[in-house]
Amino acid sequence: MTNSISTRLAVLGSGPAGYTAAIYAARAGLSPIVIQGIQPGGQLTITTDVENYPGFRDVIQGPWLMEEMQAQAEHVGAKTVWDHIVSVDFSRRPFVLTGDSGTQYHADAVVIATGAQARWLGLPSEEHMKNKGVSACATCDGFFFRGKKVAVIGGGNTAVEEALYMTNHTTDVTLVHRRDSLRAEKILQERLFANPHVKVIWDSEVAEFVGGGDPETLVGLDLKSKLTGEVSRLSVEGAFVAIGHKPATGLFAGQLDLDEDGYIKVEAGTTNTSIPGVFACGDVMDKIYRQAVTAAGTGCMAALDAEKYLAAQEYEALAAE
């Protein structure tokens, strides 16, 4: 027999957006269920040092921060479930969510906080050098490379913004792009080309991330020219892979409005999706800021939007009686 759970509010995803939504919803008396998903704790569980989350003077660890958020959410009354939603039906009321475990969740409202994953180049040496000089977020980790030589890989808005951001920390930034022109907006390109601290290496891809020393840290990138096939070494101590993100929205395609990059569309200034009662927060709807603190902020908004929606539903039901 199918296990069935009914809840006023289901929160999908357990990163800063999901747990913040759960904390606010629990404190509003909605007894939310947080369905943790495939990576409990989200992207912060695969980073180490966090120095930009307000409230902590010392460097904290990403996994620890997420454990604290989970504990806080549970302390105020949210229930955490270790399950992964494999299908949703937003055409029915209550909404029906089916878990990998076989459990069916029936929810009056849903907050989607399933996040996004950075795209990586996929080289074994990239995997090996993560947290040893290779990162996918200059805003998060750039500070650790003050005064050092760094590279940013990619040619879109994110790569150009990250390269410009890094000039706040160092005067030696190299953008490595696989083609001979950038995809980024013209205004960003103009700023990049005008910045004396950034040089661009065109038509090149990373063949290897090179480590050295003890403990091992990044010492360079082996770059392969796409024109000549020649490989040359670029000495850097930090490298930021900025080749895009993939929002976790496959589950919602055909049911919710998504933008051209697959992010959930929300009504400006709210977390309202194209279906009343379904709200989206965090990186799954934000391709610009992508910070733990902005995810937490929109998580709070989603809980408040959901609370308002559920109160209106209740009022309508009472008025109809």
What lies within 8 Å, CB to CB, of 172 at 6+ separation is 148, 149, 150, 197
Which residues from 98-157 bind ligand NAP, rule CB under 6 A?
Answer: 121, 154-157
Q: Is 80 in the site for ligand NAP (CB under 6 A)?
A: no
Please say which residue, 14 or 114, places its beta carbon nearer to ligand NAP.
114
Q: Is 77 in the site for ligand NAP (CB under 6 A)?
A: no
Catalytic residue among 83, 108, 140, 281: 140
Please say which residue, 5 or 121, places its beta carbon nearer to ligand NAP.
121
Return d(Cα 95, Cα 100) in angstroms, integer: 17
Q: How far is the CB of 292 from ligand NAP (least distance, A)?
A: 17
Q: How far is the CB of 201 from ligand NAP (least distance, A)?
A: 12
Q: How far is the CB of 265 from ligand NAP (least distance, A)?
A: 13
Return d(Cα 99, Cα 85) in angstroms, integer: 4
Please say which residue, 14 or 158, places its beta carbon nearer to ligand NAP.
158
Do the Cβ atoms of 18 and 293 come closer than 8 Å? no
Catalytic residue among 108, 141, 283, 305: 141
Do the Cβ atoms of 178 and 203 come closer than 8 Å? yes
Asked whether the CA dihedral 247, 250, 251, 254 is positive or negative, the reply is positive
Number of residues that bind ligand NAP (CB under 6 A): 18
Return d(Cα 306, Cα 45) in angstroms, integer: 27
Q: Please identify, among the stretches 47-55, 134-142, 237-245, 246-254, the one whose residues bind ligand NAP according to the rule CB under 6 A.
A: 237-245
Q: How far is the CB of 263 from ligand NAP (least distance, A)?
A: 8
Q: Please identify, among the stretches 6-14, 163-171, 243-251, 265-273, the one whose residues bind ligand NAP according to the rule CB under 6 A.
A: 243-251
Supply the DSSP symbol for 29.
T
Angle at 147 between CA 202 and CA 179, to 5 degrees: 10
Residue 82, beta-bridge partner list: none
Q: Is 183 in the site for ligand NAP (CB under 6 A)?
A: yes
Which residue from 75, 93, 146, 179 is in contact with ligand NAP, where contact means CB under 6 A?
179
**141 included as an active-site residue:** yes
| Phi then psi dihedrals of residue 75, to 5 deg | -60, -35
Binding mask 272-311 for ligand NAP (x = CB under 6 A): ---------------xx-----------------------
Token code pair at residue 66: 């997420």
Do the Cβ atoms of 116 and 290 come closer than 8 Å? yes
Which residue from 130, 178, 191, 265 is in contact with ligand NAP, where contact means CB under 6 A?
178
Q: Is 234 in the site for ligand NAP (CB under 6 A)?
A: no
**137 included as an active-site residue:** yes
Q: Which amino acid is at 110?
A: V
DSSP class per residue in 151-213? EEE-SSHHHHHHHHHHTTT-S-EEEE-SSSS--S-HHHHHHHHH-TTEEEE-SEEEEEEEEET
**281 included as an active-site residue:** no
Question: Which residues contribute to the site for ligand NAP (CB under 6 A)?
Answer: 121, 154-159, 161, 178-179, 183, 205, 243-245, 261, 287-288
Q: Which residues are catalytic?
A: 137, 140-141
